[in-house]
Amino acid sequence: MSMAEATRYLIPAQAIEVETEIKRSRFVAHIAHSHDSDMAFEIISQEKARHPDARHHCWAFIACPPLSASAIRFSDDGEPSGTAGKPILNVLQYSHYGEIICVVSRYFGGIKLGAGGLVRAYSNSTQAALEQLLVKEIVALEKIKIQFDYPFEASIRHYLDTADIAINHVDYQEAVTFQLEIEKNQVPLLMQQARNLCKGQVLINTDTRSLS
């Protein structure tokens, strides 16, 4: 399974702020949890308000599972192109954390660092914060609904029990409907086993919108 398909990954457990000084410039790296882009941009606005005297507020976020491209952004915020936002993002991606944002506020100390110096400074400040970051594991779950005839219920229940898959809700009408929440990487096997146990007479719905 590739990292883009990972159903278990680490995210920040709490926000952290670490300051480093390089040639009189102060780099304040703020790392926090961000589960979507809206939350990330809100954090960026908050950091700009908290550090109004900083010359630059450079940032990057991965507001999605690690290496998923659905919500990745970065900004140099006035620094030379490619010297701030992308280096911050590179460090975040190398960490393999998901749902994470880093904003680095720079207070200029009067000494120019040059392009290479800036890349190292923003990378090192991000890495310094990551080294002190507390993380926690989350599990990406998918809702699934399976419907089958009554004679198959005992077999399906036995399989779910042995696979340690909990049943969230049961609906008894013309047929039996189980609503489940399982790790995404378990879905293909569940679908295969349910079809085998029900001899193909099963309806499987993985459209989470219908289960909300």
Q: How far apart are CA 79 and CA 83, in angstroms?
A: 7
Cβ–Cβ under 8 Å, residues 86 and 34: no
Predicted TM-score (pTM) of the model is: 0.74
Say how many C-beta atoms besides its own lie within 10 A of residue 151's C-beta: 11
Give per-residue burial for 186-208: e unless 16+ CB within 10 Å, then b. Answer: bbeebeebbeebbeeebeeeeee
Q: What is the pLDDT along the chain (212 residues), one digit of tens a residue?
A: 333 456 788 999 999 999 999 999 999 999 999 999 999 999 999 999 999 999 999 999 999 988 777 899 999 999 999 999 999 999 999 999 999 999 999 999 888 999 999 999 999 999 999 999 999 998 878 889 999 999 999 999 999 999 888 899 999 999 999 999 888 778 889 999 999 999 999 998 875 433 32
Select from 15, 141, 14, 4 the least CA-distant residue to 65.
4
Measured CA to CA, the distance from residue 143 to residue 184 in angstroms comes to 9
| Domains, in order of start, for the chain | 3-137 (3.30.230.30), 141-211 (3.30.70.240)
Q: Measure CA 183 to chain center.
A: 15
Rounded Cα–Cα distance for residues 168 and 153 (Å): 15
